[in-house]
Copies of this chain bind each other. A is one copy, B any other.
């Protein structure tokens, strides 16, 4: 069996059409501040049986024939695509962040799984017909699947939303991302076990064997392989061609992991995902390598996969309003209350907890992937698959605005927003007192409060504990009577003595004033400022900049 020349031509044409439509609609949705994946799936619906198949069945069947080797070739590509997509998602998981916020993250993800899982499982078990179950023998597995589908979150979509809202690298961003990572790992484990229970893969392993092998695999990869790769990565980068050696290493390990999990009766993507975590955890992995893999996979392979979703079923014929509504209600109520409650139990305030709840509600890519697998294994019908895709699209679209609503307060006071070129000055004064007077004067004017008092507070703080930090930075600060925080930046090329730990004079002096009582805010902003000055080279580059706007832009990076 071999592809004929005509099949090769059609194959290339359909791939280019899929990429073209995916890109067009992906960009359109990006412009509308929505995740690109929504546009990519809609592109598939347009190219698939739903629209093109209705308008011109001949063209559709010619481009995407269902019974020739062409379909197999395309299947091969989309299989690779989804495995690579999960490998990249795994690479993005940062275990150290998860560990740092483990309490809140664990409570958010565990409660955030239990509540929606219970709701989804309960409803489907009690009223299986409502969700479209056709084979009564499958009632238990089916209900377990619905529970999982409702409780899964989509790491890539959530990361994208956090980046768009500019809170990716803030405390709440880290909490959400860690919770989403844990959710992914737990969700995939449960789902893999469901597949194992169905003996879907049909490799003759019993459920217990699959369970054991899965846990064994996860532990070996995260405990042994992770350490091995951490040692192997620098060796490969130093001794083999770069970046070719390391690119191959990542893909080879990912594919082997994927093949292994597929063999033991769960799906290939779990293997790719877990290996991605293990490899991505290495601190030696260079940014350039991540960049090449990430860009190629998220821009080429991922769109191909998401477009292929729309090619599989007719979204109009299989649209079932009641299923869609039930899924949406379950997703929102279950995820938001579950994750919100978990976050609150984990120590967050009410508004922040709600923001976390809405942030975690996007089931996005992951919801679609497990929906597709369930469809392929005959566990669910087309109508439920369509419902799951719509649920994924809808929750991905609402995630950002709803989260934004509850974060307004917090966002306003992010370091990002407080750093302002108009509150940045190049000065020439010589002493600590002069510079603090100068900065306090500007702060007083802006906050409409007494500059002299501000100056006094700051100097008092300075006397008890000098605020010079290494790498030319000083952060004089105080808590004052004010309704909002403010940051004023001065750049003084001569340098002023602030008793810094590395004994060098401070050339960048950042005055930080926060409202009385907002202790957490002050500490958070201080920590974030210090973090920006960790890299001495970057600070030296900052000092070479000659205008306020560029300075602040570079500082924000």
Contacts and interface: CB of A to CB of B under 8 A. Distances in A.
Interface string A72-116: 111111011001000000000000000000000000000000000
B201 A19 contact: no
A5 interface: yes
Given A13-B259, A298-B244, A74 B76 contact: yes
Contacts of A3: 72, 75-76, 79
B292 A69 contact: no
A256 interface: yes
A358 B38 CA distance: 54
B244 A1 contact: no
Interface residues of A, number: 66
A62 to B, nearest CB: 12
Interface string A253-289: 0011011001100001000000000000000000000
A249 B27 CA distance: 12
A453 to B, nearest CB: 44
Nearest to A302: B244
A83 B12 contact: yes
B72 A252 contact: no
B83 A259 contact: no
A370 to B, nearest CB: 15
B300 A202 contact: no
Contacts of A263: 6, 9
A73 to B, nearest CB: 3
Nearest to A19: B252
A129 interface: no
A531 to B, nearest CB: 26
Stoichiometry, as copies per complex, reads: 2
Given A5-B203, A16-B259, A30-B241, A248 B76 contact: no
A4 B240 CA distance: 36
Contacts of A19: 248, 251-252, 255
A369 interface: no
- Judged by DSSP, the binding face of A is helix
Given A73-B73, A77-B76, A268 B12 contact: yes
A286 to B, nearest CB: 12
Contacts of A549: none
B200 A245 contact: no
Interface in A1-50: 1-6, 8-13, 15-16, 19-20, 22-23, 26-27, 30, 36
A532 to B, nearest CB: 23
A417 interface: no
Contacts of A535: none
A371 interface: no
Contact of A241 (B6, B27, B293): B27
A259 to B, nearest CB: 4
A59 interface: no
Contacts of A244: 23, 26, 295, 298-299
A520 interface: no
A519 interface: no
Contacts of A67: 1
Contacts of A74: 76
A248 B72 contact: no
Interface centre among A5, A13, A77, A376 (most CB of B within 10 A): A5
A484 B399 CA distance: 71
A291 interface: yes
A409 to B, nearest CB: 30
A483 interface: no
Nearest to A376: B2
Nearest to A2: B75
Contacts of A6: 201-203, 263
A140 B555 CA distance: 69
A258 B295 contact: no
A464 interface: no
A60 to B, nearest CB: 17
A319 B13 CA distance: 38
A73 B243 CA distance: 27
A75 B252 CA distance: 19
- Please name the 7 residue pairs, one residue from A and one from B, whose CB atoms are nearest each other, closest first: A73-B76, A16-B255, A9-B262, A12-B259, A244-B299, A13-B259, A5-B201
Given A3-B79, A73-B79, 4 more contacts: A8-B268, A23-B249, A69-B72, A77-B80
30 contacts: A1-B69, A1-B72, A2-B71, A2-B376, A3-B72, A3-B76, A4-B202, A5-B203, A6-B201, A6-B203, A8-B79, A8-B262, A8-B268, A9-B259, A9-B263, A12-B255, A12-B268, A15-B80, A16-B252, A19-B251, A27-B240, A69-B72, A72-B73, A76-B76, A243-B299, A244-B299, A291-B292, A292-B292, A293-B296, A296-B296
